[in-house]
């Protein structure tokens, strides 16, 4: 059993990396002062811009990113584990990585994860998104061991692909994550149910910091940063889209208990998928 306090930091990132880093630093400090040992920021914490050309003009390789530099300095100063939900960083070949970073209290980068699933969609309200035109998708799921929990890393749209989270749970992750920049329309419809479903089916906590509000580039995100327990109960929520932080106590023993009560992982079986053709033989 391990107990620790987790925090979601909700942002409203704009176009200027240094401004976004300054706003995030203030909220991260507040979360640490309230006792958080693990602090998570949303997807695209460092910058949100709508066009590919403008994004490429503003970002850099990871080692030169001012948001990452701030986070490394701050994690070391505050002695916390700081999980940057993702940053946009240059990946080479004219592509961008949507990359999460987990930073330890010594300032070291413990793990990185590149978002696997690309959000390519035309929405009924006229919005159109083609992440694959800009971003290079990741190819591997990532889990990281902290002294108090094994944590699975994912980003935003990944939450709609349960296999990532199931694989991480099978590998012993008690805490799953899906930091996001959900659009308001999809957030209102699906945000809570997706987070709770990933928690219930895996018997794990789900911690997901979110972007919220009307951004400088004109997009609107849903907010409602959440922490869900292994039984599917929302135990902390930033109710709205304003920047801020929310905390909850995590007890990893609750993941053990939930998996004992509903042993879905242990009861899994391999199976084939058969497409029926005509009348099947009847079995007594």
Asked if 210 and 223 count as a contact pair (C-beta separation under 8 A), the reply is yes
For 239-255, b/e burial (b = at least 16 CB within 10 A) is: eebebbbbbbebbbebb
Centre a 10 Å sphere on the Cβ of residue 190 and count the other Cβ atoms it contains: 15
User: Of 25, 57, 69, 156, which residue is the catalytic one?
Assistant: 156
Our answer to whether residue 43 is catalytic in this structure is yes
Asked if 244 and 238 count as a contact pair (C-beta separation under 8 A), the reply is yes
User: Of 8, 15, 22, 43, which residue is the catalytic one?
Assistant: 43
User: Of 15, 115, 131, 268, which residue is the catalytic one?
Assistant: 115
d(CA 178, CA 259): 20
Our answer to whether residue 273 is catalytic in this structure is no
Our answer to whether residue 8 is catalytic in this structure is no
Centre a 10 Å sphere on the Cβ of residue 268 and count the other Cβ atoms it contains: 10
Asked if 123 and 130 count as a contact pair (C-beta separation under 8 A), the reply is no
Catalytic residues: 43, 115, 156
């Amino acid at each position: 059993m391990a107990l620790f306090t987790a925090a979601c930091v909700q942002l409203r990132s704009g176009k200027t990396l240094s401004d976004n880093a300054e706003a995030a630093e203030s909220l991260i400090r507040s979360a640490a002062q309230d006792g958080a040992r693990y602090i998570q920021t949303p997807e695209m914490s460092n910058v949100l811009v709508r066009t590919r050309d403008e994004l490429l003009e503003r970002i850099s390789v990871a080692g030169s990113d001012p948001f990452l530099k701030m986070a490394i300095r701050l994690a070391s100063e505050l002695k916390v584990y700081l999980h940057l939900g993702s940053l946009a960083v240059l990946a080479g070949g004219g592509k961008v990585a949507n990359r999460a970073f987990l930073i330890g209290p010594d300032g070291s980068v413990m793990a990185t994860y590149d978002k696997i699933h690309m959000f390519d969609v035309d929405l009924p309200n006229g919005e159109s998104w083609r992440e694959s035109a800009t971003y290079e998708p990741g190819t591997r799921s990532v889990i990281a061991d902290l002294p108090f929990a094994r944590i699975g890393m994912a980003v935003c749209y990944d939450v709609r692909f349960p296999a990532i989270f199931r694989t991480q749970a099978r590998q012993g992750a008690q805490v799953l994550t899906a930091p996001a920049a959900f659009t308001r329309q999809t957030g209102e419809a699906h945000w809570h149910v997706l987070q709770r479903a990933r928690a219930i089916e895996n018997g794990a906590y789900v911690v997901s910091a979110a972007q919220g509000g009307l951004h400088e580039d004109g997009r609107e995100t849903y907010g409602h940063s959440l922490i869900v327990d292994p039984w599917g109960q929302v135990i902390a929520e930033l109710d709205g889209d304003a920047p801020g932080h929310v905390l909850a106590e995590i007890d990893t023993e609750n993941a053990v208990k939930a998996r004992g009560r509903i042993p879905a992982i242990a009861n899994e079986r391999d199976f084939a998928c058969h497409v029926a053709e005509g009348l099947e033989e009847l079995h007594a």
